[in-house]
Amino acid sequence: MTNFVAALAVVLRKELVDGFRDRRSLISVLAPLALLPLLFYVAMDQASESVERARQIKIPVVGMEHARELIGWLDQQAGIEIQQGPDQPREAVRNGDVDFALVIPEDFAERFAGSKTAEVEIIVEGMDRSLDRSVSRVRDLIRGYGRGIADQRLIVRGISPEVARPVRVETLELATQQQRTARLIGFMPLLLVMGIFVGGLQVAIDSTAGERERGSLEPLLVIPAPRLSIIGGKWLAATAFSLASALLTAAMVGIGLEFSPLQRLGLRIELDGGVMALAVAVILPLAFSVTALQMVVATMARSYKEAQSYVSFLMLLPMLPLILTMDSEIEDAIWRLMVPVLGQQQLIQDAMGGEGVALVDFAVTALSTAAFAGVCLWLTSHLFRRERIVFGR
Amino acid sequence: MIEVRGLRKCFGDVIAVDDVSFEARNGEVTALLGENGAGKTTTLRSIYGLIQPDAGEVRVDGVDGIAQPQSARRGLGVLSEARGLYPRLTAREHMRYFAHLQGLGRSETETRCEDLVELLGMGDFADRRAAGLSHGENTKVALARALLHDPANILLDEPTTGLDVMSTRAVRELIVQLRERGKCVVFSSHVMQEVAAVSDRIVVVSAGRVIASGTPAELRRSTGLDDLEDVFVALTGHSGARG
């Protein structure tokens, strides 16, 4: 037993030193991480800009004199400012002089007075998605105005407005502020899982397929140390890098959120340190099984390059369910807790939703993840016994 | 002391080693002589337990190498066919790594490292990273790595392949020194002169079989030839190999 632990510690130390000296690989992991807060800021800034633009809207109006009442009403609405529109609205919009224009035709007043449907036009380029919010706000306002007028006309004629509105849709928003927040940063598990995968990959490949390719595996296996302790040392080294990478990712996301213009988005995200820490803590055990899986796959590969492509491909497997469920809430299920990645995703969602994480759930996930890692390590040590694997035939 | 009896190993339909038997004694140098692909490497790998033979027996100082490969390896120092180094570790770090893996203590490791650096003439490059080492320097580090724990039995798979004259000489001197210290040395080679220069016993292997064995004198007598290279050619059945 002491022999086992001693050999494991020696291998762990060597692989850590070796991994740290592999500058090129370290930089390839660290550089994208350093850019994370910047990406974050840009994404949030754009989102908040379009929200803000929708909130403070200037409406260039052509033919204002034809609908003084409507324009007057619009002008009173919060965040709306009426402007004199350009003489040639179509050209002006096309040239980008104005974002969009509201055009009121000459016959508006006449049709309006005659209780006929009076038309207004919103001229918009249609390509600039960031205007969608503004335009739909204006559209909603004018519709609302129209509905008010319609109700008045019906009441004057002795008809209840309800007759003209057979169905009414009410949207009840049930999500709490924190759940909405959770959804907004629903990509956080994805980033953390990526951090875990990317961090340990280099050591996992270098210490298996790489070790064989450079011809150092045979001398290593001649050492009378238990195979499992050698593999265990390699695995723990890869896991250490994986964990470090995940923690760095979390820190970078934290920095990104801290400096992002979230308040402007109307989201009061209290970056509760406790919740964040819980979310990170919940996902970290995943590193142990991810590196074990990377090692068994890299060991099976015939060459270093082959190992690299297999292990990179491996990253897509857990990404798929994460991306598919990123926007929506997933239902709690025991089977999900038992599947690595999916289990952690559910726990993170619980943590970020402010509901807390049940200790039992955490235990189930951690145990199944540990079992998965154990199977992978056992498989790897088994593979290291195969002549075909050791000598790369 | 290494005993090999009736060793047999097939890879698919190919019989790599067929009924190989020999004995390598302490204080003697035993050479496995044969062409490339004769089965030397497979034989050696069976002794240090990375290949599971289909039949036969391996004993290292009396320990069953097939049933208890782990214990048998304790008494072995091996320069395997693959002798790659870690490019980002220095020569000395390689020695420390393997010494610690062999269970040597800290101070013991340092003295052994110093001894080997001196013995193999590694002073110039002991603290350089392996990425910049020459082929000869690389082989010396691999040799040092195999000898750190001062094993009683030493297996060297083609130790001089690809080395220049000076390095080849250093390896030969090392082999002789090991013999003088009472070690059991087994090395494989396809170079006749080298085998003739240092071996006490020669096991000639061809196509997986032992076709002759004995001291150089015995081999000369049995074939009636004076030159060992002629002996080798005669034994392996090739004719006219030496113009």
Report the gap between the CA of A6 and the closest CA in chain B (Å): 8
Report the gap between the CA of B96 and the closest CA in chain A (Å): 10
> Is the CB of B50 less than 8 angstroms away from the CB of A387?
yes
Give the number of other Cβ atoms within 10 Å of residue A303's Cβ: 13
Q: What is the pLDDT of chain A when averaged over all its residues?
A: 83
Give the DSSP letter string of A266-328.
Answer: T------HHHHHHHHHHHTTHHHHHHHHHHHHHHHSSSHHHHHHHHHHHHHHHHHHHHHTSSS
What is the residue type of A336? R
> Is the CB of B70 less than 8 angstroms away from the CB of A390?
no
Report the gap between the CA of B49 and the closest CA in chain A (Å): 8
Give the residue carrying structure tokens 């690389």: B138
- Closest partner residue to B98 (CB to CB) among A223, A226, A387 is A223
pLDDT at B149 over 50: yes
Provide, as residue numbers in chain B, all residues whose Cβ is less than 8 Å from the Cβ of A10. 97, 100-101
pLDDT at A168 over 70: yes
Residues pairing with B206 in the sheet: B209
Q: Which residue of A has its CA nearest to B46?
A: A387
Provide, as residue numbers in chain B, all residues whose Cβ is less than 8 Å from the Cβ of A21. 88-89
Report pTM: 0.79
The 10s digit of each residue's pLDDT in B104-124 is: 999 999 999 999 999 999 999
Q: Is residue B70 packed enough to be buried (19+ CB in 10 Å), middle (13-18) or exposed (0-12)?
A: middle
Round to whole Å and give the CA distance between B159 and B71.
Answer: 24
Label residue A182 by pLDDT band (50, 70, 90): low
CB contact B133 to A (< 8 Å): no
Round to whole Å and give the CA distance between A120 and B235.
Answer: 107
Q: What is the pLDDT of residue A53?
A: 62
Q: B10, B70, B85, B101: best mutation site toward chain A, by most A Cβ within 10 Å?
A: B101
Label residue A272 by pLDDT band (50, 70, 90): low
Sequence-distant (6+) residues with CB within 8 A of B94 are B85, B86, B130, B141, B144, B145
Which one is predicted more confidently, A138 or A262?
Answer: A138
Provide, as residue numbers in chain A, all residues whose Cβ is less than 8 Å from the Cβ of B145. 219
User: Residues A272-277: what's their mean pLDDT?
Assistant: 75
Provide, as residue numbers in chain A, all residues whose Cβ is less than 8 Å from the Cβ of B83. 215, 219
Provide, as residue numbers in chain A, all residues whose Cβ is less than 8 Å from the Cβ of B50. 218, 221-222, 387, 390-391
User: Residues B130-154: what's their mean pLDDT?
Assistant: 95
Sequence-distant (6+) residues with CB within 8 A of B205 are B20, B32, B33, B34, B38, B39, B40, B43, B211
Percentage, residues of chain B above pLDDT 70: 97
> Is the CB of A214 less than 8 angstroms away from the CB of B71?
no
Give the residue carrying structure tokens 């599947």: A339
Label residue A172 by pLDDT band (50, 70, 90): low
Of A232, A202, A191, A77, nearest to A145 (Cα)?
A: A77
Beta pairing class for B76-79 and A57-62: unpaired
- Closest partner residue to A216 (CB to CB) among B51, B73, B85 is B85
- Taking the CA atoms of A5, A11, A12 and A14 in sequence, report the sign of the dihedral they define: positive
Q: What is the pLDDT of residue B89?
A: 97
Report the gap between the CA of A218 and the closest CA in chain B (Å): 6
CB contact B172 to A (< 8 Å): no
The 10s digit of each residue's pLDDT in A203-259 is: 999 999 999 999 999 999 999 999 999 999 999 999 999 999 999 988 888 887 777
Label residue B240 by pLDDT band (50, 70, 90): very low
Label residue B1 by pLDDT band (50, 70, 90): very high
E strand intervals along A184-279: none
Provide, as residue numbers in chain B, all residues whose Cβ is less than 8 Å from the Cβ of A222. 48, 50, 73, 76, 78, 80
Q: What is the pLDDT of residue A1?
A: 58
CB contact B140 to A (< 8 Å): no
Of A166, A155, A240, nearest to A200 (Cα)?
A: A240
> Which range, A253-257, A299-303, B85-89, is most confident?
B85-89
CB contact B125 to A (< 8 Å): no
CB contact A5 to B (< 8 Å): no
Provide, as residue numbers in chain B, all residues whose Cβ is less than 8 Å from the Cβ of A218. 50, 80-82
Q: What is the pLDDT of residue A51?
A: 62
Q: Which residue of B has its CA nearest to A3?
A: B103
pLDDT at A5 over 90: yes
Round to whole Å and give the CA distance between A247 and A340.
Answer: 19
pLDDT at B197 over 70: yes
Q: Which residue of B has its CA nearest to A229?
A: B101
Which one is predicted more confidently, A265 or B17?
Answer: B17
> Is the CB of B84 less than 8 angstroms away from the CB of A3?
no
pLDDT at B231 over 50: yes
Q: Is residue B78 packed enough to be buried (19+ CB in 10 Å), middle (13-18) or exposed (0-12)?
A: buried
> Which range, A322-326, A346-350, B44-48, is most confident?
B44-48
Q: Which of A224-233, A373-382, B158-167, B226-235 has the lowest mean pLDDT?
A: B226-235
The pair of three-digit structure tokens given for residue A379, joined into one six-digit string: 């498989």
User: Residues B31-50: what's their mean pLDDT?
Assistant: 94
pLDDT at B10 over 50: yes
Q: Which residue of B has its CA nearest to A7?
A: B101
Report the gap between the CA of A212 and the closest CA in chain B (Å): 9
Q: What is the pLDDT of residue A354?
A: 67
The 10s digit of each residue's pLDDT in A32-59 is: 888 888 877 777 777 666 666 656 788 8
User: Residues A285-305: what's their mean pLDDT?
Assistant: 94
Q: Which of A269-273, A364-368, A387-391, B154-158 has the lowest mean pLDDT?
A: A269-273
Asked if this assembly's ipTM is beyond 0.85, the reply is yes
Q: B81, B88, B95: best mutation site toward chain A, by most A Cβ within 10 Å?
A: B88
Q: What is the pLDDT of residue A263?
A: 58
pLDDT at A12 over 80: yes
Q: What is the pLDDT of residue B171?
A: 92
CB contact B50 to A (< 8 Å): yes
Q: What is the pLDDT of residue A161?
A: 83
Q: What is the pLDDT of residue A234?
A: 97
pLDDT at B243 over 50: no
> Is the CB of A216 less than 8 angstroms away from the CB of B80?
no
**Are B133 and B85 a contacting pair, CB within 8 Å?**
yes
Label residue B137 by pLDDT band (50, 70, 90): very high
pLDDT at B241 over 50: no
The pair of three-digit structure tokens given for residue A72, joined into one six-digit string: 């007057």
Label residue B239 by pLDDT band (50, 70, 90): very low
Label residue A286 by pLDDT band (50, 70, 90): very high
All domains of chain A in start order, with CATH: 2-47+177-391 (no CATH), 56-164 (3.40.1710.10)
Q: Which residue of A has its CA nearest to B48?
A: A222
Report the gap between the CA of A363 and the closest CA in chain B (Å): 35
The 10s digit of each residue's pLDDT in A64-106 is: 888 888 888 888 887 788 888 888 888 888 888 888 889 998 8
The 10s digit of each residue's pLDDT in A124-164 is: 887 666 677 778 888 888 888 888 888 888 888 888 888 87
> Is the CB of B89 less than 8 angstroms away from the CB of A221?
no
Q: Which residue of B has its CA nearest to A391?
A: B82
Q: What is the pLDDT of residue A305?
A: 94
pLDDT at A271 over 70: no
Report the gap between the CA of B6 and the closest CA in chain A (Å): 20
- Closest partner residue to A6 (CB to CB) among B50, B97, B103 is B103
Q: Which of A46-60, A294-308, B30-44 has the lowest mean pLDDT?
A: A46-60
> Is the CB of B86 less than 8 angstroms away from the CB of A18?
yes
